[in-house]
Structure 1
Amino acid sequence: MVFLFSLQVFGQEHLSSFNAITITYKFHPKFYLYGEGQLRGIEDYSYPDYYEIKGGIGYNLTKNHKPFIGIGRYATYKDKAIDKEEFRFWLQDIIDLKYGKFKFENRFRAEKSWFYEPQKEVHSDRYRFRYRLNVSVPLNSESVKPGTIFANAYDEIFFVTEKPAFARHRLYGGFGYQIDETFGMASGYLWQREFARSGNKNLHFLYFALNINIDTTDDDNDYHFPGAD
């Protein structure tokens, strides 16, 4: 049914899959570890042709200000063979603003990537800069706690140091459910526009994520919703 719906809505464009599992481990009132794994089916919804594994350490400068350092490995497949490998290092800063029940997350990120294309024996690198405004709101309670259903939407833009400088645009909308103090899940639709000299491209993802929060401190739980990354 989803496949038929995607054909009607997107015409020649098709629906892709975007699946993620995230773990946030708060081991100190100020510090937390974050890890994430992803599988995406870009050319074929049911067959993963992209994966990434990444993680890092964050610091709660204040409750609403969270700098972060991360690293990750990324791989893209074509015709069931690895087409491109990437190692990425990034610095980011997250500043949260709250207005009533709404939470506005401003995320700034600077990335350095190193690529290898084994089929062509080509090495390259890239700098990229990203900004994301992520808005979430609980729907059946005043704050996010076990049993809460929440809505989530974000807009993200990507810039690179080569032409075209404006490289990508993402829009996401969806819902989530905080199952208990540890587990939460989220699902929604992600539209992604790729800009390139060879031509622009639209991608349509059905997103699903399982989010795991582990807090060994005595602080109040601050549930973390990473969103499609």
Structure 2
Amino acid sequence: MKKIFIYIFIIQLTTFQLMAQNNQLGSWNILNSNYHLNDTWSIWAEGQIRSLGFYSNFHYYEYKGGFSSQVHKNIKLTLGAGSYQTYNEGGNFLLPKNNDEFRLWPQIILSQNIDKFKLEQRFREELRFTSNGYRNRIRYRLGASYAFGKMKKINKPFQVQISNELFFTDKEPYFERNRFLVNFQIKTTQSSSIQIGYLHQFDYRINDETGRDFLVLGFSFDVFRKSSLEKVATQGINEN
């Protein structure tokens, strides 16, 4: 099983394009919150805003929410929905929009610990109601994370993460996008964390949010219904 995960991960990494589509670094900003009802169920919400320049040329934002169920220690199910808005390039939220979209998506995450590493596979099906008509899309992400530092309660304070995600549709050209992420996460408290990373996105004949190179900055916090539920660990690689 360990060799299978390693082989799949190597194959995915070979799809990463070393040359970016544009040398200008954009920004990718995330605010995420999770409300844990108990050890199994949680409600979450997230907002994102992105720019093609370094905090200039803002062209995209999204807000979404849903609920998740940890049905097994290695299996997590999620149902999410949200609004995804893409604007023209060349300015801050420049009209007319490229895409005005509502999206509904079920998701499953499979995880496995191998030595000191945690491996994750994420499968997501997106039902997309766009300004250009209805579309389907399937996403598959393979990621690994490594936590280190002095243990604080049940978590280590630092975590390095790497992932690669492929986007497919049921219509030509079928393959739409490849998204590669390297991320560093710091737990500031038992229930909050910040992340900084680099994301490269390669698009192939896609007309929604444009891919480039991005500096990723994120903040995540968890709220627990009871103090005893703080044994629920915060998420690793951004799930949503």
TM-score range, shorter chain: 0.7 to 0.9
Q: Secondary structure at the match of 1:163?
A: coil
Q: Which residue number in structure 2 is paired with residue 119 of structure 1?
A: none
**Deviation of residue 145 (structure 1)?**
5.1
Q: Which residue number in structure 2 is paired with residue 34 of structure 1?
A: 44
Report the AA paired with residue 34 of structure 1.
W
Report the AA paired with residue 14 of structure 1.
Q
Q: Which residue number in structure 1 is paired with residue 95 of structure 2?
A: 81
**Deviation of residue 47 (structure 1)?**
3.7
Q: Which residue number in structure 1 is paired with residue 66 of structure 2?
A: 56
**Deviation of residue 216 (structure 1)?**
2.2
Match of 1:158 among 152, 167, 184: 167
- Pairs aligned (count): 213
**Deviation of residue 221 (structure 1)?**
2.6
Q: Is the 8 A contact 1:138 1:144 kept in 2?
A: no
Q: Is the 8 A contact 2:143 2:237 kept in 1?
A: no
**Deviation of residue 147 (structure 1)?**
6.5
Could you list the structure 1 runs, at least 4 aligned residues long, displaced by more than 4 angstroms after superposition.
Answer: 9-12, 142-147
Q: Is the 8 A contact 2:39 2:232 kept in 1?
A: no
Distance 1:144 1:64, change over 3 A: farther
With 164-173 and 71-80 compared, the bigger mean Cα shift is at: 71-80
Match of 1:92 among 104, 107, 114: 107
Q: Is the 8 A contact 2:155 2:233 kept in 1?
A: no
Distance 1:202 1:140, change over 3 A: same
Question: How many Å separate the matches in 1 of 2:181 and 2:239?
Answer: 8
Q: Which residue number in structure 2 is paired with residue 4 of structure 1?
A: none
**Deviation of residue 228 (structure 1)?**
7.8
**Deviation of residue 101 (structure 1)?**
2.3
Distance 1:34 1:180, change over 3 A: same
Residues 60-84 of structure 1 deviation map (CA, whole Å, 9 limit, x = unaligned): 1012211111101011122522502
Q: Secondary structure at the match of 2:56?
A: coil
Give unmatched runs, 5+ long, in structure 2. Answer: 1-18
Distance 1:61 1:207, change over 3 A: same
Residues 119-175 of structure 1 deviation map (CA, whole Å, 9 limit, x = unaligned): xxxx41110001111211112146895661111110111101111111100111121
Question: How many Å separate the matches in 2 of 1:75 and 1:103?
Answer: 33
Question: How many Å separate the matches in 1 of 2:23 and 2:66?
Answer: 35
Residues 93-134 of structure 1 deviation map (CA, whole Å, 9 limit, x = unaligned): 011111122111111000010112xxxxxx411100011112
Report the AA paired with residue 87 of structure 1.
F
Determine whether 1:108 maps to 2:123: yes
Question: How many Å separate the matches in 2 of 1:40 and 1:144?
Answer: 34
Q: Which residue number in structure 2 is paired with residue 6 of structure 1?
A: none
Q: Is the 8 A contact 1:177 1:184 kept in 2?
A: yes
Report the AA paired with residue 59 of structure 1.
S
Question: How many Å separate the matches in 2 of 1:95 and 1:178?
Answer: 23
Question: How many Å separate the matches in 1 of 2:143 and 2:82?
Answer: 22
Q: Which residue number in structure 2 is paired with residue 174 of structure 1?
A: 183
* Pairs within 5 Å for 1:169-208: 169-196=178-205, 203-208=212-217
Distance 1:226 1:23, change over 3 A: farther
Distance 1:62 1:143, change over 3 A: farther
Q: Is the 8 A contact 2:145 2:237 kept in 1?
A: no
Question: How many Å separate the matches in 2 of 1:138 and 1:59?
Answer: 23
Q: Which residue number in structure 1 is paired with residue 235 of structure 2?
A: 224
CA RMSD of aligned residues (A): 2.4
